[in-house]
Amino acid sequence: MAQKKENIVMFPFMAQGHINPFLALALRIEKTKKFTITFVNTPLNIKKLRSFLPSNSSIYLLEIPFNSSDHDLPPNSENMDSLPYHFLINIFQASLSFKPHFRKLISNLIQEKNGQKPVCIISDMFLGWCEEIAQEFGIFHAIFLGGGGFGFACYYSLWVNLPHRSTDSEEFVLPDFREASLFHVTQMTDFLRSADGSDSYSSFLRKTLSQWSKADGILFNTVEEIDKLGLTYFRRKFGRQVWPVGPVLLIPGSQGRSRRDFGISPEECKNWLDKKPSCSVIYVSFGSMNTISESQMMQLAMALEGCGKNFIWVVRPPLGFDINSEFRANEWLPEGFEEKIKVSGRGLLVQKWAPQVEILSHKSLSAFLSHCGWNSVLESLSHGVPMIGWPVAAEQFYNVKLLEDMIGVCVEVARGKRSEVFHEDIVEKIKLVMTESEKGRK
Ligand code: UDP
């Protein structure tokens, strides 16, 4: 008789940059044919996932009840990528309301399987409380961080060692991570610099981060060879199993999006890229949640026009604009920019969402100007595309440090959402990476 497969429950946070690596990991586990997988999320995220998971997939999608209006969120808001960044705290706090529902969900799963418990719960870094439920039911609990070891070691160290106000305009060493060399105060977000441990943002984060140490294991979407320093930090700090399981990446076409969301179809994008010479295009994107200021956007546009290179730019509304607002070239871009780009055929402006993995894997791609979210980093590294880093939030500042100082596959061009940046500097960095300079080649 065939042995019954054991079940793994997976629960990512409600943001595409979290759901994607969880899904990639789920698909990887599914391939082993050794386990069944229950993938938990809010109704709208599950609906979206249902629409593009292959019809023969055995991954069981399970809804956890959620009503955004109960949490001072706009109606039907269940994913950070359709919300302005300041709503992150509401989403954080709303995620705490899942606790009783998740307990019930686990209890129901056990009942349905005649008392057989899931073999493991893999939960998100922001859903640290899952550990309490796993413990209650006696289930192995792992946290999966879709990010890298170094980036999160810095992030963790900074959040657990608040406050940082005394570090104004200085370089500093991370309090319990001296091997990581010097940091500059501009590598902290405004949230981090103003946090004192009692504000709502740091209260949430410090609680959830402290729960990592109670997990039975921590999985990172990274590779030991490039990320030893960060992984060693966590092994030493928690004395727990820390496994680098990366890179786990979604295959092209399964980026958690229905075709409706794309600003351009993958086919159209490929056709455009097919017409460009090999290694001649720079791709520009700030990921699924972040954006830059209007003045930075103007400088970036001038740089893309001035550098003479082919480009694809995913244009998201600048800071201060409704994240879902229609594309407004007249307000966000230099006068005549869109028209000139169209006529020259040198650039492709993509609204909303681009088929990123298809773009990065195309032979015409030469460089990626990126906010250095970890999924983007892995996708870029996996396709051998060097990066120009423009970190804007969270652990992205430390990802860039790892990529530039320790691995040598990136140059930083600007830092933060509001920092002053000049188009000449952007052009210089683009040329450095895209032309046959010694550093660019390296
Ligand atoms: N992404 C995409 N098209 C876009 C923007 C983002 O496919 O136009 C995908 C990208 O490939 C990556 C994820 O969304 O898998 C973004 O994750 P990342 O960690 O890079 O950044 P975040 O959005 O979490 O800041």
* Burial of residue 408, with CB atoms counted within 10 A of its CB: 0-12 exposed, 13-18 middle, 19 or more buried: exposed
Q: Are the C-beta atoms of 347 and 303 separated by less than 8 Å?
A: no
Q: Strand 365-370 vs strand 171-173: parallel, antiparallel, or unpaired?
A: unpaired
What's the pLDDT at 286?
Answer: 96
**Can you tell me the distance from the alpha carbon of 19 to that of 24, in angstroms, rounded to the nearest whole number?**
9
What's the pLDDT at 170?
Answer: 81
* Residues of the chain where predicted confidence (pLDDT) is lower than 70: 1-3, 165-169, 252-260, 436-437, 439-442
Q: Which two three-digit tokens encode residue 278?
A: 């090999």
Residue nearest to atom 21 of ligand 1 (CA): 373
Question: What pTM, to 2 d.p., does this model score?
Answer: 0.91
Tell me the CA–centroid distance for residue 442 and ligand 1, in Å.
26
Q: Which two three-digit tokens encode residue 364?
A: 């015409």
Any alpha helices (H) in 239-292, and if so which ranges? 266-274
What's the pLDDT at 251?
Answer: 73
The alpha carbon dihedral of 355, 358, 361, 367 has a sign of: negative
Residues with CB under 6 A from ligand 1: 16-17, 20, 255, 285, 287-290, 314, 353-354, 356-357, 373-376, 379
What's the pLDDT at 257?
Answer: 58
What's the pLDDT at 150?
Answer: 96
ipTM over 0.95: yes
Tell me the CA–centroid distance for residue 5 and ligand 1, in Å.
33
**Can you tell me the distance from the alpha carbon of 43 to that of 137, in angstroms, rounded to the nearest whole number?**
25
Nearest to 112 by CA among 1, 7, 2: 7
